[in-house]
């Protein structure tokens, strides 16, 4: 077992920002089966699923800041979680005005 690498502020350059119709939200409730209830910044609560690419690589907990991509149909009710922001990335989003929650 090696040492765990220390992650610093340099990691902030890898932040995935919302584009097109993507929305930033907060995970409010775990529903099981890779689904969560997310309160989005546009004032809607969406039932979101964790993309298969992220499923086992990134764990999402309650109150985590996530990036949601609404579905083409049922866009007000459902979406996919495409990114989870770490603590320092969430603070950067707040300071630069992306996160208003």
| Residue 35 falls inside a structural domain | yes
Residue 14 in any domain: the answer is no
In a domain, 78, yes or no: yes
In a domain, 51, yes or no: yes
Q: Is residue 74 part of a domain?
A: yes
Q: What integer pLDDT is reported at residue 11 of this predicted model?
A: 59
Give me the number of domains the chain comprises: 1
Residue 83's DSSP bridge partners are 67
Q: Which residues contact 48 (CB under 8 A, 6 or more apart)?
A: 25, 35, 36, 37, 38, 66, 68, 78, 79, 80, 81
Which pLDDT belongs to residue 36? 92
Q: Is residue 2 part of a domain?
A: no
Instruction: Indicate the length of the chain as a whole number.
Output: 101
Q: Which residues pair with 48 in a beta bridge?
A: 36, 79
Q: Is residue 1 part of a domain?
A: no
Looking at the domain assignment, is residue 62 inside a domain?
A: yes
Q: What was the pLDDT predicted at 2?
A: 64
What CATH number is associated with residue 38? 2.40.50.140
Give me the tens of pLDDT residue by residue for the chain, a chain 101 residues long. 666 655 555 556 678 888 888 999 999 999 988 899 999 998 899 999 988 777 778 788 899 999 999 998 988 899 999 999 988 888 888 888 888 76
Residue 84, domain extent: 19-95
């Amino acid at each position: 077992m090696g040492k765990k690498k220390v992650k610093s502020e340099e990691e902030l350059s890898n932040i995935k920002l919302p584009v097109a119709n993507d929305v930033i939200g907060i995970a409010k409730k775990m529903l099981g089966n890779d689904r969560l209830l997310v309160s989005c910044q546009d004032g809607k609560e969406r039932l979101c699923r964790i993309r298969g690419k992220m499923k086992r690589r990134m764990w999402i907990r309650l109150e985590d800041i996530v990036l949601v991509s609404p579905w083409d149909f049922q866009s007000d009710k459902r979406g996919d979680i495409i990114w989870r922001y770490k603590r320092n990335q969430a603070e950067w989003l707040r300071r630069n005005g992306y996160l208003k929650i």
